[in-house]
Amino acid sequence: MTRLASWIIGSLVVTALIAWMISLPGTVTLEVANYRMQPRLGTAIFMLMIVAALVIFVWAVVRRVLGTPKYLARRNQEKRKQQGVDALSDAFIALQAGDLGRARSLARDAQSRLPENAAALLLEARADLALGDMRAARQHYRALISNEKTAMAALSGLYEQARTQNRGEAALTFARKALTLVPNVDWASAAVFDDLVRQGAWAQAVGMVNGEPANNREERAQKRRRQAVIETARARENETSNALDALDHALTALKLLPDFVPAALIAARIHINRGETRKAMSLLRRIWRGTGHPDVARLYAHAQPGASAVDRLKRTRELIATPVANRAEAVVMARAAVDAYDWVLAREALKSFVGEQASQGVASLMAEIEEGQSGDQGKAREWLARAVRAPRDPAWTTDGLVSDEWEPVSPVTGKLDAFEWKVPVSLSATRNPTSATPTPIAPPAPLKPEPAKQDSDGDVLALARAGNAE
């Protein structure tokens, strides 16, 4: 309604203006080719406006006619571009659906219609890789690596393909090249970090962790734990060769994770070996209060080198109050009591845990108690039989492997901080006391370097290595 009223008012205003111009007094004399005209001033102005409008209209028609070829060319270009976008979209859908042949065909169609579109070239390269056409993929990725905008996408695709083909050295080369272009990119950082961990290059690994951003509380906690685990690994590595350096690393780990048992055990052992028994015992008491870990109590009992079994029992009773609060405390107390031939105390410590759910450790200790206290071989064998079927006690375990000591890396997967103190699901291996690592399983490193070989993407690998060298 408002628009109609505005249109009516505007029409009336224009009409009034035209009438006013026509009614203006005076005349205008026009002489053209012996023709003279003397229209009124208003009429002359009105005619001039009509002529100007006519000239503009004629010029617009001429301009449109002259611009028709360019207009048609632009329309064709826009149509071709739209067809390329549609082909690119359909190619992506086909690739995700697993229709690799159609995906490559559509990608090539999109590339022909959109020669400057990097996404079309990348999609065609992905389709070539999925189909195993490494020669074509190499050419596409070479072009993509040389382009600053698409280099990371190309390296990511080559990295995944190298992992799929178990070509570890190539995958690491692409990951390192990616890090030189974009520091802290997730997939490349993870690949390089995992390789450093498998090699035991702890100084470089902790350097990478220190440079990682931490934007919230959870990320900061994860970062601190990784730093603590690596520092503990460095302490463990140097415990026998460079005790002071190992102690520094262990104490650094404890600053990051105050109750981290592996670091505390290493630091306490170094203190004990240096004759600093008080420091070791003070540290172990604090860790025991925070964790209740049995390894802490056992080391506390042995804090004084050369102490007798009776002295060790006395020290254990200083740490563990009676009656014991849980099965872990009971097992530690009973072990110390059995070593000191205090059968009554040992039996008293275990009495609350000898029911149907008695663990292997409890059953084994009860067998020792029965044999040592009364010499009853029958009851001892009965307890040993129960130990075979009893639930297992917590241990350092990962990936089905059980170890007597904490390890920084899983021998199975090469994952950092994989060992957990928990009841193992299955006892597939035991630790060799004389070995530094669990022996039954050899780590099948996913990115294991292999000898250089000539394949269809060798030029791309060389290109990435050249970038790293620069």
More confident call, 333 vs 180: 333
Instruction: Tell how strand 401-403 and strand 395-398 pair up.
Output: antiparallel
144 and 197: one domain?
no
pLDDT at position 256: 94
151 and 31: one domain?
no
| Whether the predicted pLDDT of 368 surpasses 70 | yes
222 and 331: one domain?
yes
Residue from 159, 193, 152 nearest 174 by CA: 159
Residue 214 lies in a domain: yes
pLDDT at position 460: 55
171 and 191: one domain?
no
SS3 48: helix
The C-alpha atoms of residue 133 and residue 140 are separated, in whole angstroms, by 11
Residue 304 lies in a domain: yes
| Whether the predicted pLDDT of 344 surpasses 90 | yes
pLDDT at position 395: 93
Long-range contact list for 381-385, CB < 8 A, 24+ apart? Answer: none
pLDDT at position 452: 41
119 and 138: one domain?
yes
Are 417 and 225 a contacting pair, CB within 8 Å? yes
pLDDT at position 226: 92
Under the banding of pLDDT at 50, 70 and 90, the label for residue 22 is low
Range of 46's domain?
2-66
Percent of the chain with pLDDT over 70: 89
Under the banding of pLDDT at 50, 70 and 90, the label for residue 445 is very low
Residue from 331, 337, 336 nearest 360 by CA: 331
Tell me which amino acid residue 4 is.
Answer: L
Lowest-confidence range among 146-150, 183-187, 238-242, 357-361? 146-150
| Whether the predicted pLDDT of 179 surpasses 80 | yes
Under the banding of pLDDT at 50, 70 and 90, the label for residue 409 is very high
pLDDT at position 79: 82
Under the banding of pLDDT at 50, 70 and 90, the label for residue 187 is confident
Q: Which two tokens stand for residue 463?
A: 């290109």
243 and 324: one domain?
yes
pLDDT at position 464: 55
Residue 297 lies in a domain: yes
Q: What is the mean pLDDT of residues 66-95?
A: 81
Percent of the chain with pLDDT over 90: 36
The C-alpha atoms of residue 331 and residue 66 are separated, in whole angstroms, by 99
Lowest-confidence range among 142-156, 206-220, 409-423? 142-156
pLDDT at position 127: 81
> Distance between alpha carbon 191 and the CA centroid of its chain, in Å?
9
pTM above 0.85, yes or no: no
**Burial of 22 from C-beta contacts in 10 A (0-12 / 13-18 / 19+):** middle
Q: Which two tokens stand for residue 60?
A: 């617009």
Calculate the average pLDDT of the chain. 82
What CATH number has the domain bearing residue 177? 1.25.40.10
Name the region of 335 (left: φ>0; alpha: ψ -120 to 50; beta: rest).
Answer: alpha
The C-alpha atoms of residue 210 and residue 400 are separated, in whole angstroms, by 31
pLDDT at position 466: 53
Convert the pLDDT of each residue in 376-390 to its tens digit. 899 999 999 999 999
| Whether the predicted pLDDT of 275 surpasses 80 | yes
290 and 213: one domain?
yes
Lowest-confidence range among 29-38, 180-189, 290-299? 29-38
Under the banding of pLDDT at 50, 70 and 90, the label for residue 293 is very high
Residue from 272, 341, 259, 340 nearest 300 by CA: 272
37 and 126: one domain?
no
Q: What is the mean pLDDT of residues 66-75?
A: 81
Under the banding of pLDDT at 50, 70 and 90, the label for residue 175 is confident
pLDDT at position 21: 67
Residue 174 lies in a domain: yes
166 and 29: one domain?
no
333 and 224: one domain?
yes
Count of the separate structural domains present in the chain: 3
Residue 420 lies in a domain: no
Convert the pLDDT of each residue in 424-443 to its tens digit. 875 444 444 333 344 343 33
The C-alpha atoms of residue 175 and residue 188 are separated, in whole angstroms, by 4
- Of 297, 322, 345, at which residue does a domain stop? 345
pLDDT at position 467: 53
pLDDT at position 11: 82
Residue 35 lies in a domain: yes
Q: Which residue do the tokens 């060992």 mark?
A: 419
pLDDT at position 465: 56
- Of 182, 215, 244, at which residue does a domain stop? 182
198 and 171: one domain?
no
Residue 313 lies in a domain: yes
Lowest-confidence range among 80-89, 236-245, 437-446? 437-446
Convert the pLDDT of each residue in 102-139 to its tens digit. 887 887 787 777 777 777 777 877 787 777 777 777 77
- Of 41, 66, 91, at which residue does a domain stop? 66
Are 287 and 293 a contacting pair, CB within 8 Å? yes
Residue 408 lies in a domain: no
pLDDT at position 160: 78
192 and 321: one domain?
yes
